[in-house]
């Protein structure tokens, strides 16, 4: 069960984390203005708890493709009995900002973002080595903006 603060953070800060030197302090101030008194440390502790419990994978920026560094979409055809194992390996790379299962021959999809194209390719190669599976590299040819934020609780 999620606390009121956890729900508010997950709902209200999927996007638009304040771009200030102390964003967690600003979040605490914003939430406190809504009548729920909370400290900066409580925000940090709550986000850490959500991450430790596997409810969020990271807190950080998402940049427009190719604005900073290099990225690619990739997919792997994973035997069903290895899906969790391979997903854990893929998620272990800091350059992977998310992965997800799809109902398809290529059933594990993920995005790799790194400083250079060479680093992206190195990550893909290392994933192949660690999993023993081929990675299909799908570099972006044209970008489309899809807003992935959605209300979790009204």
Q: What is the pLDDT of residue 150?
A: 72
Q: What is the pLDDT of residue 148?
A: 66
Q: Which two tokens stand for residue 149?
A: 């934020």
Q: Is residue 90 part of a domain?
A: yes
Residue 74 sits in the same domain as residue 46:
no
- pTM over 0.85? The answer is no
Q: What is the pLDDT of residue 143?
A: 72
Residue 47 sits in the same domain as residue 80:
no
What 30-34 contacts at long range (C-beta under 8 Å, 24+ apart), as own/partner pairs, is 31/5, 34/8
Q: What is the pLDDT of residue 41?
A: 97
| Rounded Cα gap, residues 145 and 67, in angstroms | 14
Residue 75 sits in the same domain as residue 101:
yes
Task: Count structural domains, the chain.
Answer: 2
Residue 40 sits in the same domain as residue 74:
no
Q: What is the pLDDT of residue 93?
A: 96
Residue 41 sits in the same domain as residue 13:
yes
Q: Show pLDDT as tens, one digit a residue, over the chain (154 residues).
A: 899 999 999 988 888 889 899 999 999 999 999 888 999 999 999 999 999 998 888 887 766 666 667 889 999 999 999 999 999 999 999 999 888 999 999 999 999 989 999 999 999 999 999 999 999 999 888 776 666 677 776 4
DSSP state of 149: -
Q: Any bridge partners for residue 114, and if so which?
A: 70
| Rounded Cα gap, residues 9 and 2, in angstroms | 11
Q: Is residue 143 part of a domain?
A: no
CATH number of residue 112's parent domain = 3.30.70.3460
Q: Is residue 149 part of a domain?
A: no
- By residue range, what is the domain housing residue 98? 70-138
């Amino acid at each position: 069960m999620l606390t009121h603060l956890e729900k508010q953070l997950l709902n209200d800060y999927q996007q638009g984390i304040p771009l200030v030197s102390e964003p967690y302090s600003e979040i605490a101030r914003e939430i406190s203005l809504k009548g729920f008194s909370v400290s900066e440390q409580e925000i940090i502790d709550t986000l850490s708890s959500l991450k430790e419990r596997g409810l969020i994978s990271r807190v950080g920026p998402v940049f427009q493709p190719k604005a900073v560094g290099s990225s690619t979409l990739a997919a792997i055809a994973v035997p069903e009995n290895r899906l969790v194992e391979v997903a854990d390996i893929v998620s272990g790379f800091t350059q992977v900002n998310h992965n997800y299962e799809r109902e398809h021959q290529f059933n594990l999809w993920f995005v790799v973002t790194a400083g250079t194209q060479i680093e992206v390719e190195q990550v893909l190669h290392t994933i192949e080595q660690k999993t023993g599976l081929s990675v299909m590299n799908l570099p972006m040819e044209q970008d489309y903006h899809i807003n992935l934020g959605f209300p979790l609780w009204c």
